[in-house]
Amino acid sequence: MIAVRIEKPEGFEGIEGLVYEDAPDPQPSIGDALVQVRAASFTPTELTWPLFTDRAGHDRAPLIPAHEGSGVVVALGYGAAGVSVGDEVYGLIDGYRDGWAAEYVAIEARSLAPKPTSVDFVEAAAIPQAGLTSWQALFDHGHLESGQTLVVHGAGGGVGSIAVELARWAGAHVIGTGRASARQRVLEVGADDFVDVERDDWGTAVGQVDLVYDAIGGDVLARSPAIVKPGGALVSVMAPPQTDRDDIRTVHFVRDPSGAQLRAITRLVDEGTVRPHVGAVYPLAHAREAFMAKSTEHIPGKVVLTP
Ligand SMILES: NC(=O)c1ccc[n+]([C@@H]2O[C@H](COP(=O)([O-])OP(=O)(O)OC[C@H]3O[C@@H](n4cnc5c(N)ncnc54)[C@H](OP(=O)(O)O)[C@@H]3O)[C@@H](O)[C@H]2O)c1
């Protein structure tokens, strides 16, 4: 098959190492489905993640990036359950396996869910990573409840946009943050308020909240413990929060693939509560340009690749 692969990170965040080339056809292992890829998506920083070995520590380069995508099941490995050949599916792959930037991907069947019927393959590919990361941040780790106030740092991005929608669905009051240029987009996605975190006084503008969900990191994360109410929580997908406070919970986590949670998200997409946020679409052959554009051009939402 044809795939995008990378030997090891080099140059700007590894992006210059991406090569569009022939690769071995993936074989579905026990519990896997083989999916013909219709669309794939990625996180701009994923080439910097420590995923160039498998879980046993063996070098697995060259690897295929793009942890999420959509497509059609064309074969099943022994014991694969919950999907059938011909199903239209989407999903998030274990980051230690080859991803979706290819014509075919072998993925654990339990990581897949039926593609929402209300969106096409390109839109569906934009959902799993952002949807599952935000679902797990808000509900598994943040314990968000109706009536609480939440800050989403980076609310104009792929992860943050879906977080705003999920939190509104859960009955929270949502303050989205980002650069001033993201204001209109964040309010359109559904945030109740927007705060520009490039202003020095952003902490005062936010006030005290029950939960902070951070998808920016750096100085924004460092200043965030101060805006959490006693008994509240700070959840970051960027780095472990640092604080002396013992009256708040702090969590840093890496998202897990989950077909079960993705099924719940499928229902929210089909009822219009969660919408895909596709900022740009590139042919798979132009994956390098796509990674570079998403990393440097402030493209809102997700960038999608089509084989
Ligand atoms: N731990 C996990 O499991 C996990 C899973 C998924 C993603 N992530 C991480 O989450 C982050 C967000 O992912 P994404 O796909 O949503 O990326 P994204 O689409 O680029 O979104 C990031 C958003 O934050 C904004 N932003 C970044 N730095 C900022 C700053 N200093 N001040 C104000 N706004 C800033 C960006 O604005 P501009 O575009 O204008 O810069 C963008 O709107 C990534 O770093 C990724 O590595 C972690």
* Helix (H) or strand (E) segment spanning residue 125: helix 121-125
- Name the closest-CA residue to atom 41, ligand 1: 298
The answer to whether the CB of 176 is under 6 A from ligand 1 is no
Burial class (CB in 10 A: 0-12, 13-18, 19+), 6: buried
| Residue 13 pLDDT exceeds 70 | no
Cis bond before residue 62 (omega within 30° of 0): yes
| Residue 44 pLDDT exceeds 90 | no
Confidence of residue 8 (pLDDT cuts 50, 70, 90): confident
Neighbours of 99 (CB within 10 A): 26
| Mean pLDDT in residue range 131-153 | 98
- C-beta of residue 177 within 8 angstroms of C-beta of residue 213: no
Q: Which CATH class is domain 2-127+276-306?
A: alpha beta
User: How far is the C-alpha of 265 from the C-alpha of 250, rounded, in Å?
Assistant: 25
pLDDT digits (tens, 9 = 90+) for 190-214: 999 999 999 999 999 999 999 999 9
The answer to whether the CB of 254 is under 6 A from ligand 1 is yes
| Residue 36 pLDDT exceeds 80 | yes
| Residue 7 pLDDT exceeds 90 | no
pLDDT at 9: 64
| Mean pLDDT in residue range 272-300 | 95
- C-beta of residue 162 within 8 angstroms of C-beta of residue 274: yes
pLDDT at 83: 97
Return the structure tokens found at 152.
Answer: 């989403």
Determine if residue 197 is left, alpha or beta; phi over 0 gives left, psi from -120 to 50 gives alpha, anything else beta: alpha
Angle at 75 between CA 71 and CA 77, to 5 degrees: 120
The answer to whether the CB of 44 is under 6 A from ligand 1 is yes
* Helix (H) or strand (E) segment spanning residue 129: helix 128-135
Ligand 1 geometric centre to CA of 215 (Å): 5
The answer to whether the CB of 293 is under 6 A from ligand 1 is no
The answer to whether the CB of 161 is under 6 A from ligand 1 is no
Distance of alpha carbon 199 from its chain centroid, rounded? 27
User: How far is the C-alpha of 133 from the C-alpha of 234, rounded, in Å?
Assistant: 15
Return the structure tokens found at 256.
Answer: 């897990």
- Sequence spans of domains, the chain: 2-127+276-306, 130-252
Return the structure tokens found at 140.
Answer: 């598994």
Of 41, 42, 43, 138, the residue with max ligand 1 atoms within 8 A of its CB, to mutate for a pocket test, comes to 43
Ligand 1 geometric centre to CA of 292 (Å): 14
pLDDT at 196: 98
Ligand 1 geometric centre to CA of 287 (Å): 19
| Residue 127 pLDDT exceeds 90 | yes
Report long-range pairs for 177-185 (Cβ below 8 Å, ≥24 apart). 177/151, 177/152, 177/153, 177/202, 177/206, 177/216, 177/220, 178/153, 178/154, 178/216, 179/298, 181/298, 182/155, 182/156, 182/300, 185/156, 185/161, 185/300
The answer to whether the CB of 261 is under 6 A from ligand 1 is no
Q: Average model confidence (pLDDT) for the chain?
A: 96
Q: Which CATH class is domain 130-252?
A: alpha beta
Of 133, 237, 302, 303, the residue with max ligand 1 atoms within 8 A of its CB, to mutate for a pocket test, comes to 237
pLDDT at 10: 57
The answer to whether the CB of 41 is under 6 A from ligand 1 is no
- C-beta of residue 95 within 8 angstroms of C-beta of residue 51: yes
Relative to beta strand 104-108, strand 112-114 is unpaired
The answer to whether the CB of 64 is under 6 A from ligand 1 is no
- C-beta of residue 120 within 8 angstroms of C-beta of residue 269: no
Neighbours of 52 (CB within 10 A): 17
pLDDT digits (tens, 9 = 90+) for 56-65: 999 999 999 9
User: How far is the C-alpha of 242 from the C-alpha of 219, rounded, in Å?
Assistant: 11
